[in-house]
């Protein structure tokens, strides 16, 4: 038996070996790795060596090889070739294949084949294409000016960039607002020399005075778009990243609370910022006051947020060591950049943070004092209050002020019309209000001269606040009624007359014994009464009616030099303006000559009277029978206006004689009136003997009294 062996003589026994970077010695664990779009070199050699290396190349081999691979892999015959291919030419035992992919490849394989050669390690795997990791470490928004205008961004990358991004999209202040797209080819974007830091300076900055993001905390306000190797055939990768606010705060508004009077100590300011700031950072030398172009750092003594939900608005207590340094309207305020103020992230204000102009937060003008007067334009004091005068602690605008007066619970004058209000002179802090007829429940002619009022003022320019002040009584008392009474049936001249005067309010003092003037209507002359009890402690208050008070005065004498014997009904009475009659509430003296006049009621003077008959029975002669009316029982006789009349009747009741009404007036000096009778009837004939009755009537002006006497006639 022979064994038979065959050797085929044909194709040369070379292998095709695929090398990655392991070209000196094939190493199966060697990977071929690159970024998407990269072209990676694969070297194919022909060799006979059992353990092939690149040095064992069979240089005599020239043939065509085909190359294929995992889906997504493409092959080029040069690094710069623009068209891919699967057919490569091996020259002198060697071929170069450039492998690339437009997408990620994980453990891809390459197949190499030629018709007459077997492939030593085909397919070869471990081909990887990955996208580049665009990893932003941190990024910051800045305002390069003091206007709070985001105009630049610094972006720091975790790994060096192979090249500048294709574009970067920015949002501010929200996560989808204020979009800016900056191309990598734009001059706005600069890659730092260390290749890990990009600076963007926006040609079109974001809006001014926006120093804080409105985006949710986890928002990514930047997106880096990167295309590996700038390969147009490769999809861009978008890598969102967060951008931190590095924009310091700005003062947005500043108000100083009006202070009256201005001075040293502290001022109150209301200041708002462009964003929440660290509340604790306000106290100290934190703000700069600019006055007439001169900057002064001012000291904040205390700060209180004016909202419970933010820390962007504060009420500040500002030290004002001298008035010169105090904040006033028209000054400006900005943040002291070297001071303690920071935003919530700790950013200080820009060195040149722009100032705002300080305005004044006005306070309502307070009522310093006020009073009301009874003083008509003509100088008449009629007991009806005419005007209220109010002094404020500063100027007011009448058009801005809504004034209401309260003169007791139901006596109100609400929202007094501007037409009723005037400035007093040129002082716009002093006003006069014409109030006559304005009070509800007080008539336009109602006498009222006492009781404090309360004034309430609301300023249209300062809503929700009001001031109040007391309006005091500066209206003197006036007389509102008067009556005089005689003393009754006194004897021996010990009784006196009483004068009752009702005033609009209680009196405090009287400076004279003749506190009243009276007008005698009949004679049209003025007269006075001397009173004996004008000392206020000796005055008896006989009646009170609300604020009105009635006092009893004792009349010593009537000033008869004027021709007036005694007051009469219909005379009028008023306060003597020189008698220093003062009210009790305010001590206000009635000094107006033309003060309220009131009627004087003269009450009838009681008296007794008798008829005295002489020569009774009467024997007719040349002498008359005396029929005398005799007044007794009053000191005031001479002051009584009496008239008498009467009739004589016979026993049958026939009137035989008459003294007519109006013809028999008492002589005021006397106490008697003799009517006289000569025993003749009305026809002048002597009457016959007999008994007759005499009927006499006396009228004292108020009432009539009668008396009757019997007389006899003897012929
Ligand atoms: Ca900020
Ligand atoms: Ca008046
Ligand atoms: Ca008064």
Distance in Å, CA 446 to ligand 3 centroid: 14
Q: Give yes or no for residue 138 having a pLDDT over 90.
A: yes
Average pLDDT over residues 693-715: 89
Neighbours of ion ligand 3 (CB under 5 A): 449-450, 473, 475, 583, 586
Closest CA to 407 of 334, 468, 350, 470: 470
Ligand whose nearest atom lies closest to the CA of 592: 2
Q: CA angle at residue 54 from 50 to 57, to 5 degrees?
A: 70
Q: What percent of the chain has pLDDT over 90?
A: 65
CA distance 8 to 540: 163
Is residue 668 pLDDT above 70, yes or no? no
Query: How far is residue 20's CA from residue 97's CA, in Å, rounded to a whole number?
Result: 10
Whole-angstrom Cα distance, residue 130 to residue 209?
A: 43
Q: State how far the Cα of 75 lies from the Cα of 32, in Å rounded to an integer.
A: 14
Domain-wise residue ranges, the chain? 15-130, 136-245, 251-361, 367-467, 479-602, 608-713
> Tens digits of per-residue pLDDT, 217-248?
889 999 998 877 666 777 788 889 999 999 99
pLDDT tens-digit map of 84-102: 999 999 999 999 999 999 8
Give the number of the ligand closest to the Cα of residue 346.
1
CA distance 128 to 68: 15
Ligand nearest to the Cα of 345, by number: 1
Residue 630 alpha carbon to ligand 1 centre in Å: 114
Q: What CATH number belongs to 15-130?
A: 2.60.40.10
CA of 15 to the centre of ligand 2 (A): 134
User: Bigger pLDDT: 151 or 14?
Assistant: 151
**CA of 378, nearest ligand number:** 2
As a whole number of angstroms, the distance between CA 456 and CA 365 comes to 11
Q: Which residues pair with 558 in a beta bridge?
A: 529
Per-residue confidence (pLDDT) for residue 243, from 0 to 100: 96
Which token pair is 355? 């100032």
> Among 700, 701, 643, 639, which Cα is nearest to 675's?
643
Between 139-143, 529-533, 564-568, the lowest mean confidence (pLDDT) is in 564-568
Taking the centre of ligand 2 as the mean of its atom positions, its distance from the CA of residue 532, in whole angstroms, is 30
pLDDT at 488 (0 to 100): 54
What residues are neighbours of ligand 1 (ion), with CB under 5 Å?
Answer: 211-212, 245, 247, 343, 347
| Residue 576 exposed, middle or buried by CB count within 10 Å (0-12, 13-18, 19+) | buried
Ligand 1 centroid from CA 163, angstroms? 31
Give me the pLDDT at residue 493, please. 44
Instruction: Give the closest ligand to the alpha carbon of residue 381.
Output: 2
What's the pLDDT tens digit per position in 623-636?
Answer: 899 999 988 765 55
Q: How many CB atoms neighbour CB 680 within 10 A?
A: 13
Question: Which helix (H) or strand (E) segment is 122 a member of?
Answer: none
Whole-number Å distance, alpha carbon 259 to ligand 1 midpoint, is: 33
* Residue with the two structure tokens 């470490």: 137
Residues 6+ apart with CB under 8 A from 562: 520, 523, 525, 526, 527
Would you state the pLDDT for residue 395? 94
State the pLDDT at residue 490.
45
Rounded to the nearest whole angstrom, what is the distance from the C-alpha of residue 368 to the centroid of ligand 2?
A: 24
Predicted local distance difference test score (pLDDT) of residue 356: 98
- What is the reported pLDDT for 494? 42
| Fold match between domain 15-130 and domain 608-713 | yes
Q: Which residue has the higher pLDDT, 196 or 557?
A: 196
| 492 pLDDT more than 90 | no
Q: What is the mean pLDDT of residues 681-703?
A: 90
Omega before 173 within 30 of 0, i.e. cis: yes
Distance (angstroms) between ligand 2 centre and the Cα of 600 equals 21
Tens-place pLDDT, residues 431-451: 999 999 999 988 888 999 999
Look at residue 12 and tell me whether its pLDDT is greater than 70. Answer: no
Instruction: Supply angle C-alpha 407, 413, 418, rounded to 5.
Output: 135
Q: For 185-189, 317-321, 662-666, which range has the lowest pLDDT when averaged over its residues?
A: 662-666
Task: Kindly state the average pLDDT of the residues 99-120.
Answer: 88
Q: Where are the alpha helices (DSSP H) in 296-439?
A: none
**Distance from the alpha carbon of residue 336 to the mean position of ligand 3, in angstroms:** 60
Size (the chain), residues: 715
335 with 249: CB under 8 angstroms? yes
How many helices (H) and strands (E) in the chain? 0, 53
Measured CA to CA, the distance from residue 172 to residue 178 in angstroms comes to: 5
Find the ligand nearest to 384 CA.
2
Q: Find out whether 430 and 400 touch, Cβ atoms under 8 Å.
A: no
Question: Residue 701 above 80 pLDDT?
Answer: no
For 251-361, CATH number out of 2.70.98, 1.10.150, 2.60.40, 1.50.10 equals 2.60.40
Dist. CA 508 → ligand 3 center (Å) = 10
Mean pLDDT taken over the chain: 89
Report the candidate in 334, 325, 179 with the shortest Cα–Cα distance to residue 249. Answer: 334
Contact 660, 678 (CB under 8 A): no
Q: Which ligand is nearest to the CA of 343?
A: 1
Pairing of strands 251-257, 359-361: parallel
pLDDT digits (tens, 9 = 90+) for 382-393: 999 999 999 999
pLDDT above 70 for 321: yes
pLDDT tens per residue, range 460-484: 999 889 999 999 999 999 999 999 8
pLDDT tens digits, residue range 502-527?
A: 999 999 999 988 999 999 998 999 99
Tell how far the Cα of 572 is from the centroid of ligand 2, in angstroms: 19
Residue 370 has pLDDT above 70, yes or no: yes
Residue 394 has pLDDT above 60, yes or no: yes
Structure tokens at 621: 């002669």
Q: Give the ligand at the shortest distance from the Cα of 353.
A: 1
CA 329 to chain centroid, in Å, comes to 18
Cα(498) to ligand 2 centroid in Å equals 29
Q: Which CATH architecture has domain 608-713?
A: Sandwich (2.60)
């Amino acid at each position: 038996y022979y064994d038979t062996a065959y050797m085929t003589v044909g194709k040369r026994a070379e292998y095709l070996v695929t090398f990655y970077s392991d070209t000196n010695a094939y190493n199966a664990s060697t990977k071929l790795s690159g970024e998407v779009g990269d072209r990676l070199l694969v070297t194919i050699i022909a060799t006979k060596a059992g353990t092939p290396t690149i040095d064992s190349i069979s240089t005599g081999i020239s043939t065509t090889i085909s190359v294929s691979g995992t889906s997504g892999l493409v092959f080029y015959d040069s690094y710069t070739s623009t068209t891919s291919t699967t057919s490569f030419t091996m020259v002198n035992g060697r071929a170069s294949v450039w492998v690339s992919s437009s997408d990620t490849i994980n453990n891809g394989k390459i197949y190499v084949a030629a018709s007459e050669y077997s492939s030593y390690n085909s397919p070869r795997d471990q081909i990887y294409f990955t996208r580049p990791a665009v990893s932003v470490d941190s990024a910051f928004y800045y305002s390069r000016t003091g206007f709070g205008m985001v105009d630049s961004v610094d972006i720091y990358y975790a790994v060096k960039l192979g090249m500048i991004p294709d574009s970067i999209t920015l949002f501010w202040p929200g996560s989808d607002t204020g979009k800016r797209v900056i191309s990598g080819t734009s001059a706005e974007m600069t890659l730092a020399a260390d290749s890990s830091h990009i600076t963007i300076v926006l040609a079109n900055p974001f809006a001014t005075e926006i120093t804080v993001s409105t985006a949710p905390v986890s928002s990514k306000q930047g997106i880096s778009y990167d295309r590996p190797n700038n390969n147009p055939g490769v999809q861009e990768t978008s890598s969102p990243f967060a951008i931190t606010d590095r924009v310091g705060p700005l003062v947005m508004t500043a108000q100083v609370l009006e202070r009256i009077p201005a001075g040293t100590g502290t001022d109150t300011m209301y200041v708002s910022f462009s964003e929440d700031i660290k509340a604790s950072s306000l106290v100290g030398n934190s703000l700069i006051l600019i006055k007439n172009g001169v900057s002064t750092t001012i000291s904040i003594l205390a700060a209180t947020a004016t909202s419970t939900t933010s820390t962007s608005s504060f009420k500040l207590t500002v030290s004002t060591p001298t008035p010169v340094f105090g904040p006033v309207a028209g000054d400006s305020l900005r943040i002291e950049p070297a001071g303690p103020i920071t935003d919530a992230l700790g950013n200080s204000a820009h060195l040149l943070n722009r100032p705002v102009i300080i305005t004044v937060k006005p306070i309502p003008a307070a009522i310093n004092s006020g009073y009301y007067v009874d003083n008509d334009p003509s100088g008449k004091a009629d007991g009806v209050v005419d005007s209220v005068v109010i002094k404020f602690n500063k100027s007011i605008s009448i058009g801005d002020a809504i004034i209401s007066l309260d003169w007791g619970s139901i006596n109100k004058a609400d929202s007094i019309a501007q037409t009723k209000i005037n400035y007093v002179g040129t002082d716009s802090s002093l006003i006069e209000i014409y109030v006559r007829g304005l009070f509800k429940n007080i008539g336009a002619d109602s006498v009222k001269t006492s009781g404090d009022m309360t004034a309430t003022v609301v300023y249209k320019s300062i809503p929700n606040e009001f001031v109040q002040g007391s309006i005091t009584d500066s209206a003197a008392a006036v007389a509102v009624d008067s009556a005089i009474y005689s003393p009754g049936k006194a004897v021996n001249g010990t009784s006196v007359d009483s004068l009752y005067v009702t005033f609009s309010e209680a009196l405090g003092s009287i400076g004279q014994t003749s506190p009243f003037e009276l007008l005698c209507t009949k004679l049209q002359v003025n007269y006075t009464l001397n009173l004996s009890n004008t000392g206020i402690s000796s005055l008896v208050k006989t009646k009170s009616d609300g604020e009105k008070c009635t006092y009893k005065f004792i009349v010593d004498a009537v000033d008869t030099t004027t021709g007036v014997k005694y007051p009469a009904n219909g005379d009028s009475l008023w306060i003597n303006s020189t008698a220093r009659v003062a009210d009790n509430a305010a001590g206000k003296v009635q000094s107006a000559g033309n003060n309220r006049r009131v009627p004087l009621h003269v009450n009838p003077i009681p008296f007794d009277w008798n008829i005295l008959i002489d020569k009774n029975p009467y024997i007719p002669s040349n002498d008359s029978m005396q029929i005398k009316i005799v007044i007794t029982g009053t000191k005031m006789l001479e002051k009584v206006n009496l008239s008498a009349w009467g009739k004589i009747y016979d026993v049958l009741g026939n009137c035989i004689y008459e003294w007519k009404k109006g013809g028999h007036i008492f002589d005021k000096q006397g106490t008697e009136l003799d009517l006289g009778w000569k025993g003749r009837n009305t026809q002048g004939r002597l009457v016959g003997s007999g008994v007759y009755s005499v009927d006499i009537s006396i009228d004292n002006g108020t009432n009539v009294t009668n008396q009757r006497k019997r007389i006899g006639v003897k012929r």
